[in-house]
Amino acid sequence: MPRQIHLTVAALVPGVQGFLMVKEKQGEHIVINQPAGHVEPGEGLLEAVKRETFEETGWRVEPRHLLGISIYTSPHNQVTYYRIAFLCEALEQDKHAALDSDIIEALWLSEAQLRARQSEMRSPLVIETLDAYCNGKRYPLEIIEDYR
């Protein structure tokens, strides 16, 4: 039985130029992912997705909807991730923000570009989250009860 839960959040951020993505290092590989990362102890889900997106892209975002909750075991490290994906609105970019050390760059990719580059995705959840958005899935943020 694992000793740690890997609770993560991800932001799907559509814009005029496509979707906000990150090119990042995953071990020896370069992969594409939505801005995403672990929820820190004591942190709320909405706070986490805003923080992770800013740390990885320099963009301030506002979550508007929940897109879905996924459970995924990585074949690379056998870790099970609990991933909560949010549809977020891009508010403003801080062009001087220092990005996390494993981020190579933040970039905007169209749906067609993402689908053409599926083999470069960090996990199948990247395209699954895109599919949820394209299929009109939206859940109200009020579904999240935060009793802190």
User: What pLDDT, in 10s, does the model give residues 11-55?
Assistant: 999 999 999 999 999 888 899 999 999 999 999 999 999 999 999
Chain centre distance of CA 104: 15
Pick the closest to residue 103 from 40, 21, 45, 42 (CA basis): 21
Instruction: Tell me the pLDDT band of 5, cut-offs 50, 70 and 90.
Output: confident
Residue 72's beta-bridge partner residues? 81
**HSE toward the beta carbon, residue 56, CA cutoff 13 A:** 27
Asked whether the predicted pLDDT for residue 1 surpasses 60, the reply is no
Domains of the chain: 6-143 (3.90.79.10)
pLDDT tens digit sequence for 115-145 = 999 999 999 999 999 999 999 999 999 999 9
pLDDT tens digit sequence for 41-53 = 999 999 999 999 9
Rounded to two decimals, what is the model's pTM? 0.94
- Per-position DSSP letters for 72-119, written without gaps between them: EE-TTT--EEEEEEEEEEEEEE-TTPPPPTTEEEEEEE-HHHHHHTGG
Read off the amino acid at residue 3: R
Instruction: Render the burial of 21-39: b for 16+ CB within 10 Å, e for the rest.
Output: bbebeeeeeebbbbbbbeb
Share of the chain above pLDDT 70, in %: 99
Instruction: Tell me the C-alpha distance between 132 and 94, whole Å.
Output: 28
Read off the amino acid at residue 121: M
Instruction: Tell me the pLDDT band of 2, cut-offs 50, 70 and 90.
Output: low
